[in-house]
């Protein structure tokens, strides 16, 4: 018996520790959970916009990182962004059987499937049921997919039926081509692949096939085993078609069968007793001596909170010494984790420091009066000029892009449903016919984001932000050479003119041209061809620079070299929205002031368009109140436009209208309209400021509620686009409110926004601003150079993305999720404004 007992102990101890643990169970948030592992089943569904955003279906969060997603019946082996996705008709949770199921439907093919996921110890069993056989046209095409994040698996090994392989750092494998007639209809009929006249499309071949797949056996945090006895497993590299593709594990649904037609057993590894390392938040930029200094520490709910933390100073001789030890106070739970705070505000001596919390040692940070001096320089010197459209942009030896879209823009045809969620209505609302060239629009403006279109609403915000920066702070920084006549920009070269004035001019050129040529503001200037829309590289190579000539054959160039048969010209979407016009009128009124004395002609034209658009938009909104499609912005613009026109013209009618609209708007939403109210103080009488005081008290209540809502005390977004823009605006509002009502609104709240942006936030503690935060800024962004896994200096990420029901994330090794990594021209100039205001506050 003793020998038997000893033998049992030896066998028990030889089992890997991470193979022993509690079983998967459905938790209160209706997903499968065990320590170190979450399996979500349609907690997040495919949306109706861009379809496959790599954020939906069956998802696996392994040791705190979402490593797999997209689990669903799909019609492609390597789905691209606009490929069809199933609609989730219903979702059922059965705790008695420990199962979650959903019915998926492809409306275009009248095809439904039912996916059932059931906990089986440390694994889940996934089954697909059909009431009707796979439709004939989907045979060999409909299959079950589960996608794995490449950056978490490349260079790791995998075994299929015992055969050893390795996931490559760059796309691997082979492709085949098939006739376009065999390609299934895509979302809205768009083709994502330009066959360049070959009449064929690309289809990847599997890297491996078999019945038992083991991924990353050498990595306990990423190890997954998938087996199936009844269907064959295939592994594809989705990057063969698009850089944002994931590794795909897939099985084809058998033809002619009903009932249970497919079963997988999925066993994601969970390390026994795994506890996530604490995320110790800090400002990577650093702190000025007198500001609040609070580290928010994000902790696994199974972790024990340390009672103390310390600040260690790095001395000039390289030695280190503990200079402060303080209490760590538990804040409480917020979604998946628990949070604690470590306040070291009393430390004011300039120097180099790091935080020691338990076994966690952060990177270093600085305390000094100069830490905020240069927080906007990378954005103004790099990101903004690189995004100047219709210009050749050079930096040293590097050309960021040539002059794009020399051929101009054509009128989008009526009833056009666009792949970037734009819509041209039943008429053009202009004098131009569908497909007709609209002269004069290829001037000025800024690329929207990681793509190369001009989003009018975003550009209005951009120019308005520039004017606010100019009028508020008069920055004289001159680090960009701009020649509008030569359409040439060079970074890090002075030209004797403040860059801010040139940015205002460049944006206003495009927007004034829209108002004058179209008669109102466009919705967008964007690609007519999806193949061009997801272009990566030099913007000048998206189109051939020659107007399309329908009399020429495909890719043929006219003998005079002035036109071509390439149907790649950009479109302008012109359906009129009076509230967008109203918003533009606000911006034009302020532009007229900023450009006075610098470009008087453009200033006068902007003021003329402001008055006209305000008059026409007001009339249109009175006649058709339901036409306010841009409504939430238009409501604020109604107030702000009249204030800006009053400041520009001095005409009392605008002041009267501003006051008439302001108070009801404040009653409706203080936090949204507060900035427009505060802007009015210098231009109104003393009674105006006193009337604002009760609203400032309401705004203070809003700020204090944020302190109760989350441990960071800022407004955190929970949508499909992360919330840094909202936090930047919050910080700016606080600074303006403190300026006029310091007895009510404390400036300390603005530093909470700064700390969040620069590293004190969930998931990790990296600065969200590229190259800003000397020790650890984010290194990978969704920009137009995202395929290089790089960044554009000064880019500001949207931030921490919330995935239902309780997961925050921000990948820094995978740029292609735009909702968390794509900097936009509106968001980055909003950061520029906030950063300028913060520097002014510090001064």
Supply the residues annotated as catalytic. 813, 822
**Cβ 755 vs Cβ 281: under 8 Å:** yes
**Cβ 652 vs Cβ 639: under 8 Å:** no
Query: 118: part of which helix (H) or strand (E)?
Result: strand 111-120
Summarize pLDDT for 461-480 with one digit per residue, the tens. 999 999 999 999 999 999 99
What pLDDT score was predicted for residue 81? 84
Q: Is the pLDDT of residue 774 over 80?
A: no
Q: What 3-state class would DSSP assign to 31?
A: coil
**Cβ 610 vs Cβ 645: under 8 Å:** yes
Nearest to 683 by CA among 657, 661, 650: 650
Query: Average pLDDT of 238-244?
Result: 93
**CA 134 to CA 455: how far, in whole Å?**
42
Q: Please provide the DSSP assignment of 139-204 as one string.
A: TTT-EEEEEE-GGGTTT-EEEETTEEEE--SS--S-EEEEEGGGSPP-GGG--SS--TTS-EEEEE
What pLDDT score was predicted for residue 341? 98
Query: Average pLDDT of 100-112?
Result: 97
**CA 813 to CA 790: how far, in whole Å?**
9
**CA 601 to CA 508: how far, in whole Å?**
12
Q: Is the peptide bond before 805 cis (omega within 30 degrees of 0)?
A: yes
14/756: higher pLDDT: 756
Measured at the CA of 590, the angle between CA 585 and CA 594, to 5 degrees, comes to: 145
Question: What values do phi and psi take at 405, rounded to 5?
Answer: 60, 45
Nearest to 148 by CA among 228, 268, 42: 268
Q: Record the tokens describing residue 484, joined without a space.
A: 């509008």
Q: In whole angstroms, how far apart are CA 553 and each of 201, 405, 411, 499, 567?
A: 21, 21, 22, 45, 10
What pLDDT score was predicted for residue 197? 63
Query: Average pLDDT of 703-719?
Result: 97
For the chain, helix, strand, coil in percent to 5 are 30, 25, 45
Nearest to 751 by CA among 709, 795, 798, 703: 703
Axis crossing angle, helix 578-594 with helix 631-649, rounded to the nearest 10: 30
Q: Please provide the DSSP assignment of 263-330 as one string.
A: EEEEEE---TT--PPPEE---SS-B-TTS--EEEEEE-TTSPPPSEEEEEEEPTTS-EEEEEEEEEEE
555 C-beta neighbours (distance < 10 Å), count: 13
Q: Is the pLDDT of residue 195 over 60?
A: no
**CA 84 to CA 649: how far, in whole Å?**
53
Residue 237 half-sphere exposure toward CB, CA atoms < 13 A: 19
Nearest to 749 by CA among 824, 791, 797, 696: 696
For residue 262, what are the contacts with CB-CB under 8 A and spacing of at least 6?
A: 127, 128, 144, 228, 230, 231, 251, 253, 254
Model pTM score: 0.94
Which residue is listed with tokens 């705004």? 699
Summarize pLDDT for 54-82 with one digit per residue, the tens. 999 999 999 999 999 999 999 999 998 88
Q: What are the structural domain ranges in the chain?
A: 11-268, 279-367, 376-629
**Cβ 533 vs Cβ 526: under 8 Å:** yes
- Categorize the per-residue pLDDT at 173 as very low, low, confident or very high, splitting at 50, 70 and 90: confident
**Cβ 798 vs Cβ 776: under 8 Å:** no
pLDDT over 70 percentage in the chain = 94
Summarize pLDDT for 78-102 with one digit per residue, the tens. 998 888 999 999 999 999 999 999 9
Query: 251: part of which helix (H) or strand (E)?
Result: strand 247-252
Across 36-75, the runs of DSSP E, i.e. the strands, are: 37-44, 57-62, 65-74
214 DSSP assignment: E
- Categorize the per-residue pLDDT at 22 as very low, low, confident or very high, splitting at 50, 70 and 90: confident
Q: What 3-state class would DSSP assign to 497?
A: coil
pLDDT over 90 percentage in the chain = 87
Q: Record the tokens describing residue 310, joined without a space.
A: 């310390």
Q: Record the tokens describing residue 82, joined without a space.
A: 């606009």
Q: What 3-state class would DSSP assign to 618?
A: helix
Question: What values do phi and psi take at 677, rounded to 5?
Answer: -70, -45
Q: Record the tokens describing residue 408, joined without a space.
A: 């101009």
**CA 213 to CA 224: how far, in whole Å?**
8
Burial of 550 (0-12, 13-18, 19+ CB in 10 A): exposed
Summarize pLDDT for 376-423 with one digit per residue, the tens. 999 999 999 999 999 999 999 999 999 999 999 999 999 998 888 888
What pLDDT score was predicted for residue 201? 81
Question: What values do phi and psi take at 280, rounded to 5?
Answer: -90, 105
**CA 643 to CA 653: how far, in whole Å?**
10
Compute the radius of gyration of the chain from its Cα atoms. 29
Nearest to 84 by CA among 190, 200, 204: 190
Calculate the average pLDDT of the chain. Answer: 93
**Cβ 18 vs Cβ 269: under 8 Å:** yes
Question: What values do phi and psi take at 621, rounded to 5?
Answer: -70, -30
- Categorize the per-residue pLDDT at 17 as very low, low, confident or very high, splitting at 50, 70 and 90: very low
What pLDDT score was predicted for residue 635? 53
Summarize pLDDT for 594-623 with one digit per residue, the tens. 999 999 999 999 999 999 999 999 999 888
**CA 823 to CA 785: how far, in whole Å?**
12
- Categorize the per-residue pLDDT at 20 as very low, low, confident or very high, splitting at 50, 70 and 90: very low
331/775: higher pLDDT: 331
Query: Average pLDDT of 158-166?
Result: 98
- 279-367 to CATH, choices 1.10.3720.10, 2.60.40.10, 2.70.98.40, 3.20.20.70: 2.60.40.10
**Cβ 487 vs Cβ 392: under 8 Å:** yes
Q: What 3-state class would DSSP assign to 234?
A: strand
**Which of 4-8, 198-202, 548-552 has the weakest average pLDDT?**
4-8
**CA 674 to CA 103: how far, in whole Å?**
46
For residue 89, what are the contacts with CB-CB under 8 A and spacing of at least 6?
A: 102, 103, 104, 105, 112
**CA 110 to CA 120: how far, in whole Å?**
32
**Cβ 810 vs Cβ 820: under 8 Å:** yes
Burial letters for 440-465: b for 16+ Cβ neighbours within 10 Å, e otherwise?
A: ebbbbbbbbbbbbbbbbbbbbbbbbb
What pLDDT score was predicted for residue 455? 96
- Evaluate whether the domain defined by 11-268 bears CATH number 1.10.10: no
Query: Average pLDDT of 539-543?
Result: 94
Q: Record the tokens describing residue 795, joined without a space.
A: 């880019």
What pLDDT score was predicted for residue 7? 40
**Cβ 18 vs Cβ 268: under 8 Å:** no
**CA 633 to CA 584: how far, in whole Å?**
11
**Cβ 628 vs Cβ 638: under 8 Å:** no
Nearest to 638 by CA among 602, 622, 607, 614: 614
Summarize pLDDT for 491-514 with one digit per residue, the tens. 999 999 999 999 999 999 999 999
Query: Average pLDDT of 340-361?
Result: 98
Q: What 3-state class would DSSP assign to 371?
A: coil
What pLDDT score was predicted for residue 19? 42
Nearest to 168 by CA among 150, 147, 194, 143: 150
Q: Is the pLDDT of residue 10 over 90?
A: no
Summarize pLDDT for 798-840 with one digit per residue, the tens. 999 999 999 999 999 999 999 999 999 999 999 999 999 999 9
Summarize pLDDT for 720-753 with one digit per residue, the tens. 899 999 999 999 999 999 999 999 999 999 999 9
Burial of 210 (0-12, 13-18, 19+ CB in 10 A): middle
What pLDDT score was predicted for residue 637? 64
């Amino acid at each position: 018996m003793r020998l038997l007992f000893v033998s049992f102990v030896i066998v028990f101890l030889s089992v890997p520790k991470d193979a022993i643990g509690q079983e998967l169970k459905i938790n209160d948030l209706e997903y499968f959970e065990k320590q170190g592992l979450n399996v979500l089943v349609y907690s997040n569904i495919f949306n109706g916009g861009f379809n496959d955003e790599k954020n939906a279906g069956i998802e696996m969060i392994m040791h705190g990182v979402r490593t797999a997603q997209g689990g669903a019946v799909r019609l492609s082996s390597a789905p691209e962004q606009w490929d069809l996705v199933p609609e989730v008709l219903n979702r059922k949770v059965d705790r008695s059987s420990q199962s979650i199921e959903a019915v998926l439907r492809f409306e275009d093919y009248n095809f439904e499937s039912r996916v059932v996921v059931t906990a089986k110890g440390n694994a889940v069993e996934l089954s697909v049921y059909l009431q009707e056989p796979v439709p004939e046209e989907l045979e060999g095409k409909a299959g079950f997919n589960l996608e794995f994040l490449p950056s978490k698996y490349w260079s790791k090994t995998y075994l299929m039926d015992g055969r050893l392989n390795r996931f490559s750092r760059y796309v691997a494998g082979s492709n085949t081509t098939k006739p376009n007639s065999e390609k299934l209809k895509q979302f809205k009929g768009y083709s994502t692949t330009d066959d360049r006249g070959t009449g064929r499309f690309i289809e990847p071949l599997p890297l491996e096939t078999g019945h038992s797949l083991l991924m990353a056996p050498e990595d306990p945090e990423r190890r997954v085993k998938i087996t199936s006895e009844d269907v064959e497993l295939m592994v594809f590299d989705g990057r063969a078609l698009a850089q944002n593709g994931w590794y795909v594990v897939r099985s084809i649904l058998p033809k002619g069968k009903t009932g249970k037609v497919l079963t997988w057993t999925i066993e994601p590894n969970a390390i026994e007793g795994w506890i996530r390392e604490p995320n110790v938040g800090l400002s990577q930029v650093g702190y000025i001596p007198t500001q609040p200094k609070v580290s928010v520490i994000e902790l696994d709910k199974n972790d024990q909170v340390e009672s103390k933390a310390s600040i260690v100073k790095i001395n000039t001789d390289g030695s280190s010494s503990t200079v402060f030890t303080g209490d760590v106070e538990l804040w409480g739970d917020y979604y998946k984790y628990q949070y604690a705070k470590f306040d070291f505000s009393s430390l004011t001596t300039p120097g180099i420091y790091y935080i020691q919390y338990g076994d966690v040692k952060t990177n270093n940070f600085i305390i000094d009066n100069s830490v905020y001096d240069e927080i906007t320089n990378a954005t103004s010197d790099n990101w903004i000029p690189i995004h100047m459209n219709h210009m050749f942009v050079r930096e040293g030896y590097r050309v960021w892009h040539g002059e794009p879209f020399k051929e101009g823009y054509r009128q989008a045809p009526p009833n056009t449903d666009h792949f970037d969620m734009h819509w041209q209505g039943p008429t053009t609302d202009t004098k131009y016919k569908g497909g007709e060239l609209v002269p004069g629009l290829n001037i000025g403006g800024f690329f929207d984001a990681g793509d190369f279109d001009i989003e009018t609403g975003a550009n209005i915000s951009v120019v308005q932000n520039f004017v606010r920066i100019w009028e508020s702070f008069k920055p004289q920084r001159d680090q960009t050479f701009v020649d509008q006549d030569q359409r040439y920009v060079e970074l890090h070269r002075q030209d004797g003119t403040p860059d801010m004035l040139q940015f205002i001019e460049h944006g206003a050129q495009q927007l004034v041209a829209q108002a004058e040529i179209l008669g109102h503001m466009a919705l967008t200037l964007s690609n007519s061809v999806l193949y061009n829309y997801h272009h990566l590289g030099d913007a000048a190579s998206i189109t051939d620079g020659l107007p399309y000539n329908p009399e020429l054959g495909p890719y043929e160039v006219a003998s005079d070299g002035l036109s071509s048969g390439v149907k790649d010209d950009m479109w302008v979407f012109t359906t009129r929205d009076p509230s967008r016009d109203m918003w533009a009128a606000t911006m034009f009124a302020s532009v007229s002031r900023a450009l006075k004395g610098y470009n008087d002609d453009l200033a006068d034209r902007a003021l003329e368009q402001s008055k006209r658009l305000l008059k026409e938009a007001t009339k249109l909104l009175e006649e058709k109140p339901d036409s306010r499609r841009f409504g939430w912005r238009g409501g604020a613009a109604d107030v702000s436009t009249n204030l800006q026109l009053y400041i520009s013209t001095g005409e009392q009618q605008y002041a009267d209208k501003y006051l008439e609209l302001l108070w009801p708007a404040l009653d409706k939403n203080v936090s949204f309209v507060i900035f427009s109210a505060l802007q009015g103080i210098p231009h109104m009488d003393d009674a105006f400021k006193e009337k604002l005081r009760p609203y400032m008290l309401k705004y203070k209540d809003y700020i204090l509620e944020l302190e109760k809502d989350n441990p960071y005390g800022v407004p955190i977004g929970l949508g499909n686009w992360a919330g840094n823009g909202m936090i930047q605006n919050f910080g700016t509002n606080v600074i303006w409110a403190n300026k006029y009502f310091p007895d009510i609104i404390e400036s300390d709240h603005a530093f909470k926004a700064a700390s969040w942006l620069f590293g004190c936030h969930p998931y990790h503690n990296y600065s969200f601003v590229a190259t800003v935060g000397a020790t650890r800024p984010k290194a990978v962004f969704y920009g137009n150079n995202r395929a290089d896994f790089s960044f554009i200096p000064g880019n500001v990420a949207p931030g921490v993305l919330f995935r239902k029901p309780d997961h925050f994330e921000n990948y820094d090794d995978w740029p292609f999720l735009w909702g968390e990594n794509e900097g936009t021209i509106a968001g980055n100039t909003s950061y520029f404004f906030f950063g300028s205001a913060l520097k002014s506050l510090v001064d």
